[in-house]
Amino acid sequence: MKKRFCPVLFLSFWFIQQVFAQSYPYEEVTLKNVSDTILTHRSLLLPEPFDGYRAMRKLFPGRFYDLPQYQKEGPFFARLVSWECRSCDPKPYPDVNMDSAEPFPYQDGVATRMLGLSDFSDTAGRQYKVVFFNHSRHDGDGLLTSRFTGGLLGLAKFVKTDSGWRLLLFQPALAAYGNFSQSPVPTKVRLGEGQYGFLVDHVNGGPGGPFWDDYFLLAETGGNYRQVLVSPGVGTTASLENLSEWKSTFRVLSGKQPFNNFEITIKGVYYANADSEGLPELKSWFKSGEHGQFTLIRMYEYKGKKGYVLKKPAFVRVAKKRKNT
């Protein structure tokens, strides 16, 4: 029996090994310990043409991976730098999905990806590049996990010189937005004369919805980028439990100030018996058991250190109000 059993056992082991080798053909993503200077500003000059991935690898000198199994998800998902910093002093950064702030760098390691790249010029004609980074917890498979955790957003700003692109401003982390450990890509917004900000359209919610949409605006003031606006509940999708649904648009008003006023217009259908936390402005317009189409406009003006402040009251127009059936 032993002479017969051993070859069979060997063949079985070989077969299982081959199956797992085919299922997991990729190497594990491992961590590289880096110096605590990774969180500080440093001198950096990059050649023309500007390469955002080169910037990422210079600023976060961990182990670089280009994961072929995730190429279909796009280069943002497939390319990452894996690192840890044992000598760093972690600092808390807010996650808009959570009440508490989470320390960064993460104790179990960090996966950093290039999230996006934006460019603009100021009134003097100087050219700038802003690279956005997404930080998530280390995962040996290179995955983005955690349904209700956002991706921690960081950025680096470069200015074009005769010698190349010089690092002007570096903020490794600002705040976490989005879901599944992935921040939305910030959208460039011209706020005024020579002044650009970046709008983060944050969407999250429970399984099956509804999914709530909030606006966060980042702008450079005092030499650093900071969050200068929060506009909650600018959009939502309907579900079986909540039939209300609306969408929004963002428009900067004309003017010659660095920070012009702007408005957010929200349109959709509202059910009074639904969860109305997203749009408190509509509570007085609908009685219990009513629903209808509406337009809501929020006006904002810039107030220095306070950022953009909501001007009250908001404009509301209701059409075709009906009783629920």
- The residue that leads in pLDDT, 265 or 212, is 265
pLDDT at 7 over 60: no
In the 3-class helix/strand/coil scheme, how is 207-261 assigned residue by residue? CCCCEEEEEEEEEEECCEEEEEEEEEEEEECCCCCCCCEEEEEEEECCCCCCCCC
Q: Are 178 and 150 in contact (CB under 8 A)?
A: yes
User: Percentage of the chain surpassing pLDDT 70?
Assistant: 89
- pLDDT for the residue numbered 242: 59
Cα-Cα-Cα-Cα torsion 151, 202, 299, 319, nearest 10 degrees, comes to -170
Residue 270 CA to residue 277 CA, distance in Å, equals 12
| Residue 179, C-beta contacts closer than 8 angstroms, at least 6 positions apart | 97, 147, 148, 149, 150, 203, 204
Residue among 156, 140, 314, 306 nearest 225 (CA): 156
pLDDT at 136 over 90: yes
**Total residue length of the chain:** 325
Highest averaged pLDDT of the listed ranges 9-18, 23-32, 140-149:
140-149
**pLDDT, the chain, mean:** 87
Sheet containing strand 211-221, edge to edge, reads: 187-192, 195-205, 211-221, 224-236, 245-252, 262-271, 290-302, 308-323
Domain boundaries, the chain: 26-184, 186-325
Q: What is the pTM of this model?
A: 0.88
